[in-house]
């Protein structure tokens, strides 16, 4: 447990590396937080296991493959056991995959994989975790999206590879709509779609997300994400925000 009797509780998907890992790390700097870090292979997640050693009970690591619907459903029961009488304050849908394709060369199977991971996973996780969010105090869902999924600000994308993106852009545009529809359906929740900026995560390869060309260090992006998320009020619900709080047009 965290050192507070009634901690602020967070669940982060895709916490094995990159933005998810850095988010977990920074959240643990506050003794008020209790963090459930989820990843596909907890037994192989050495970085999270290292973090747990010094977390003094404030970090729980559980298996959650966002494309495995049975696992998603089972994970909520595991989380409920961890939380006991308290609810979940913050649900962070961060896990995602990318393909450096473009609309006329998208592999349809890859498109389905990307939609399943980046859109369907967050939609199901939101449904399954709703009872725990209802029990929580903050009642916030944060969808880590991308400006690549914005139509209205497309012209602002500076990197040619981001302007070309096909399947990934479709998945993030759909995720943005999910955030908006969730806000409309449940005005009592605070739901935000948020672009972390172009962050140096992983290496620059066909698999990795941000890469070495990224403009931001994870530390800077995540510090902004935490500030924006914790200070968000119901007036911000249904918005598409940047890590520094600026609003991004849909």
Question: Which residues in this chain contact ligand NAP in the complex, by CB under 6 A?
Answer: 13-14, 16-20, 39-40, 65-67, 94-97, 117, 144, 146, 195-196, 198-199, 201-202, 208-210, 214
Catalytic entry in 172, 183, 200, 239: 172
Query: Which residue stretches of the chain are H helix?
Result: 18-27, 46-53, 69-83, 108-115, 121-135, 160-164, 167-185, 218-231
State both tokens at 159.
């990197």
Tallying the residues shown for the chain, one arrives at 250
**Residue 172 annotated to the active site:** yes
Which one, 144 or 232, has the nearer CB to ligand NAP? 144
CA distances, 160 to each of 98, 100, 196, 200 (Å): 15, 11, 18, 17
Contact 59, 112 (CB under 8 A): no
**Closest CB 206 distance from ligand NAP, rounded Å:** 12
Which one, 19 or 83, has the nearer CB to ligand NAP? 19
* Residue closest to ligand NAP (Cβ): 18
The residue written with tokens 């993030």 in the block is 172
Which one, 66 or 189, has the nearer CB to ligand NAP? 66
**Closest CB 183 distance from ligand NAP, rounded Å:** 19
**Residue 90 annotated to the active site:** no
**Closest CB 181 distance from ligand NAP, rounded Å:** 19
Please report which helix (H) or strand (E) contains residue 91, including its range: strand 90-93
Q: Taking each helix axis as running N to C, give the angle between helix 121-135 and helix 167-185, from 0 to 180 degrees, rounded to the nearest 10.
A: 30
Whole-angstrom distance, CA of residue 160 vs CA of residue 126: 33
**Residue 145 annotated to the active site:** no
**Closest CB 95 distance from ligand NAP, rounded Å:** 3
Which one, 168 or 237, has the nearer CB to ligand NAP? 168
Positions marked active-site: 146, 168, 172
């Amino acid at each position: 447990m965290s050192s507070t009797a009634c901690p602020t509780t967070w669940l982060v998907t895709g916490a094995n590396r990159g933005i998810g890992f850095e988010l977990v790390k920074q959240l643990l700097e506050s003794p008020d937080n209790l963090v459930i870090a989820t990843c596909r292979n907890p037994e192989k997640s050495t970085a999270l296991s290292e973090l747990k050693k010094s977390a003094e009970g404030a970090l729980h690591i559980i298996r959650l493959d966002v494309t495995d619907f049975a696992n998603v459903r089972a994970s909520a029961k595991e989380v409920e056991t961890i939380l006991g009488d308290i609810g979940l304050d913050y649900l962070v849908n961060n896990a995602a995959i990318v393909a450096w394709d473009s609309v006329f060369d998208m592999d349809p199977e890859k498109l389905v994989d990307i939609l399943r991971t980046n859109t369907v996973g967050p939609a199901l996780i939101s449904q399954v975790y709703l009872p725990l969010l209802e029990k929580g105090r903050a009642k916030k869902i944060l969808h880590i999206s991308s400006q690549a999924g914005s139509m209205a600000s497309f012209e602002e994308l500076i990197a040619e590879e981001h302007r070309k993106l096909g399947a990934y852009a479709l998945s993030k545009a759909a995720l943005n709509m999910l955030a908006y529809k969730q806000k409309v359906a449940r005005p009592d929740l605070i739901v935000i779609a948020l672009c972390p900026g172009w962050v140096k995560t992983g290496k620059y390869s066909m698999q990795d997300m941000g890469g070495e060309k990224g403009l931001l260090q994870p530390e800077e992006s995540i510090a902004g994400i935490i500030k924006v998320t914790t200070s968000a009020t119901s007036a911000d619900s249904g918005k598409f925000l940047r890590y520094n709080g600026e609003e991004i047009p849909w």
